[in-house]
């Protein structure tokens, strides 16, 4: 894919079904109307088997379902998807494959993660983790990080409209390709994974940017997707750093304004920026930090 076009997918601010206006009081006791995002249950099926019900923003159900199944090792990279059916009234999405599937035993062992909106992974997800070989030749320039942050933080979004959302962005060099949001960061990751699978997008030369914490779940899903570089405005957990080092994932956190912390994979980083020339965090970025 050429990287001269930005945001092949981005938040749809005109979709009124994603937010609702509520009446409440502000700090002065005045009546105000406030837009808030919705949480909608989405039940995901793989062929005839019900897999999970996820609380989600409600957009891109096909991408979310495919990405979730991929990141849980229920869909294989060579699987052929014969159809994706979505029933908006029932809030059900069915992913159909040519391969017959049965994950009854796998689903007996679940791990609740620290993800917002209750993330869940299955116990055998780590079986293939150590076998993933992330591209060691992929590089990132510090100037790209500053550019990506500025483009993402100045982009109109549902977060700036209503708050309570996490954003995830798939980038190539300093160009954001797709930008998705959801009430849980794991959902946003899954949407990107689904988009990459359905569009046969190469992961080796991509950079993953998120506004959420760099937890073990975030690291696992990024590695599962085969993306070698993960960046966040937020910080790390100990487990997230440990797993990144195990997998050889470049992990960059607290990327705000002039600052960034590289917890692993510095060999992929080209320090090409004069820090003194970097502007302080812009007003929009500051607003993002205050909304929630």
Tens digit of pLDDT per residue, the chain (292 long)? 444 456 788 877 788 888 888 999 999 999 999 888 889 999 999 999 999 999 999 899 999 999 999 988 899 999 999 999 999 999 999 999 999 998 887 776 654 444 544 445 555 666 667 778 999 999 999 999 999 999 888 887 777 676 778 899 999 999 999 999 999 888 999 999 999 999 999 999 999 999 889 999 899 999 999 999 999 999 999 999 999 999 999 999 999 989 999 999 999 999 999 988 887 654 444 444 444 4
**Two structure tokens written together for 15:** 């979709």
Residue 292: predicted pLDDT: 42
Alpha-carbon distance of 250 to 230, in angstroms, equals 6
Alpha-carbon distance of 246 to 263, in angstroms, equals 12
CA max distance for the chain: 60
Residue 205: predicted pLDDT: 96
CATH code of 140-291, in short, is 3.40.140.10
Instruction: Compute the 3-state secondary structure of the chain and give helix, strand, coil in percent, each to the nearest 5.
Output: 30, 30, 35
The pTM score is: 0.85
Q: Does domain 40-124 have CATH number 3.40.50.300?
A: no
The 8-class DSSP code of residue 123 comes to: G
164 within 8 A of 183, measured Cβ to Cβ: yes
74 within 8 A of 45, measured Cβ to Cβ: no
Give 264's contacts (C-beta < 8 A, 6+ positions apart). 241, 244, 245, 248, 249, 250, 251
Residue 176: predicted pLDDT: 94
Parse the chain into domains and list their residue ranges. Answer: 40-124, 140-291
């Amino acid at each position: 894919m050429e990287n001269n076009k930005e945001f092949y997918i981005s938040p749809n601010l005109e979709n009124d079904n994603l937010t609702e206006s509520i009446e409440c009081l502000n700090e002065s006791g005045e009546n105000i109307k406030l837009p808030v995002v919705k949480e909608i249950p989405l039940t995901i099926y793989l062929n005839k088997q019900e897999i999970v019900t996820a609380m989600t923003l409600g957009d891109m159900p096909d991408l979310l379902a495919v990405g979730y199944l991929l990141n849980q090792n229920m869909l294989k990279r060579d699987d052929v998807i014969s159809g994706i059916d979505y029933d908006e009234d029932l809030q059900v999405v069915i992913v159909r494959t040519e391969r017959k599937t049965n994950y009854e035993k796998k689903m007996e062992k679940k791990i609740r993660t620290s993800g917002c909106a209750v993330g869940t992974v299955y116990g055998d997800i780590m079986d293939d983790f150590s076998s993933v070989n992330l591209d060691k030749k992929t590089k990132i320039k510090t100037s790209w990080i500053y550019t990506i942050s500025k483009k993402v933080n100045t982009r109109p979004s549902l977060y700036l409209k209503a708050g309570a959302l996490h954003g995830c962005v798939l980038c190539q060099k300093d160009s954001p390709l797709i930008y998705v949001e959801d009430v849980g960061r794991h959902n946003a990751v899954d949407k990107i994974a689904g988009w990459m699978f359905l569009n046969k997008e190469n992961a080796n030369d991509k950079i993953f940017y998120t506004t959420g914490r760099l937890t073990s779940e975030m690291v696992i899903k990024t590695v599962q997707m085969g993306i070698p570089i993960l960046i966040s405005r937020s910080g790390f957990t100990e487990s997230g750093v440990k797993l990144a080092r195990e997998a050889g994932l470049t992990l960059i956190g607290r990327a705000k304004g002039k600052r960034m912390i590289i917890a692993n994979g510095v060999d992929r980083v080209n320090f090409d920026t004069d820090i003194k020339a970097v502007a302080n965090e812009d007003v929009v970025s500051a607003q993002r930090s205050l909304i929630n």
